Amino acid sequence: MFDDKIILLTGGTGSFGQKFTEIMLEKYNPKVIRIFSRDELKQWEMHKKFNNDKQLRFFLGDIRDKDRLDRSMDDVDIVFHAAALKQVPACEYNPFEAVKTNIFGAQNIIDTAINHNVKKVIALSTDKAVSPVNLYGATKLCMEKLFIAANAYAGKRDTRMSCVRYGNVVGSRGSVIPLFKEQKNRGKITITHRAMTRFWLTLAQGVEFVIKCTELMSGGEVFVPKIPSMKIVDLAEAIAPGCNIEITGIRPGEKLHECLVTEDEARHTKEFDELFIIEPELLLTYSNAWKEGKVLPEGFNYSSDKNDKWFSKEELQKIIEEL
């Protein structure tokens, strides 16, 4: 479905954007990928890295700027929305900046995509949007709600929008791995709680899942992958065996465990072999495309501490070596 298509990728110079571009150019044949981001240096570095003037275009702009987004949407077939302010402490200290990018920016994408009759829009979300305890998670929750509701007010246009929600990405910017490697050299690693768990997947897995969901979507769904959990203390020991571990206490805005599907969401969620699909509750135009999925039992929730898939220390070490 991507052959000869024009794709707009917001946040295109970030970790996801770089890997997405690599995989899309390697496995598919889009007509053009428009890399939309704010940082001219990162765009220049990415231009040199891929050296592909035939299929790549670099658009300087901010998703807060609706006029610039409007220009970037000309003739676009598919939008992948990965732009966000996502550093939790920075969002807490600069709250309205996070709102302007993660919420107002999302609305700008929705409006311009509908105006240009873009066929498919898929937005990246996070487990932190589930029962959020920090501002970043709250803005992502709002973003999800906006994209789901947008299917209703697209009217008679063909535009359809969905979200992908997943956990921590190995090796992405802001990952704890570089911090642990740096602390290893000093002989002591700090973690906030010995029992802390997180969902984890690689960058390539995240990109492949987003691409798959773009093919599957009918509009209004939130797609959640089935991915392994890991214990933060196991990760620390995989990076620095035998190092001293200092427990510093859970930070403001941080959870002990993360959740990808809540008990309330599970009532309108279908389970498949590799993913969960959260169907919209209030979207009257929804096609109910997932009748073949398994209905989840009452009281089900998909949380990182109750997962049936776990990374061992050996598997974590292998992933770290590959990075």
Tens digits of residue pLDDT in 245-261? 999 999 888 999 999 99
Domain assignment present for residue 114? The answer is yes
Does some domain include residue 84?
A: yes
Measured between alpha carbons, how far is 37 from 117 in angstroms, rounded to an integer? 22
Domain around 141: 6-167+201-226+259-301
User: What is residue 285's predicted lDDT score, i.e. its pLDDT?
Assistant: 61
Instruction: Say how many C-beta atoms besides its own lie within 10 A of residue 294's C-beta.
Output: 12
pLDDT of residue 136: 97
Neighbouring residues of 93: CB distance < 8 A, sequence distance ≥ 6:
none
pTM over 0.85, yes/no = yes
Phi and psi (nearest 5°) for 8? -110, 130
Position 75 in a domain: yes
Domain contains 175? no
pLDDT at 284: 62
Query: Which CATH number is 76's domain given?
Result: 3.40.50.720
The Cα 14–Cα 19 span in angstroms is 9
- Distances in Å between the Cα of 320 and the Cα atoms of 16, 49, 175, 223, 317 are 18, 23, 12, 27, 5
Q: Is residue 218 part of a domain?
A: yes
H or E segment to which residue 210 belongs: helix 203-216
Q: Would you say residue 92 lies in a domain?
A: yes
Residue 128 annotated to the active site: yes
Residue 192 maps to a domain = no
Which listed residue (19, 86, 120, 128) is catalytic? 128
Domain count, the chain: 1
Q: Is the pLDDT of residue 36 over 90?
A: yes
Judge whether 188 lies within some domain. Answer: no
> Which token pair is 62?
């901010």
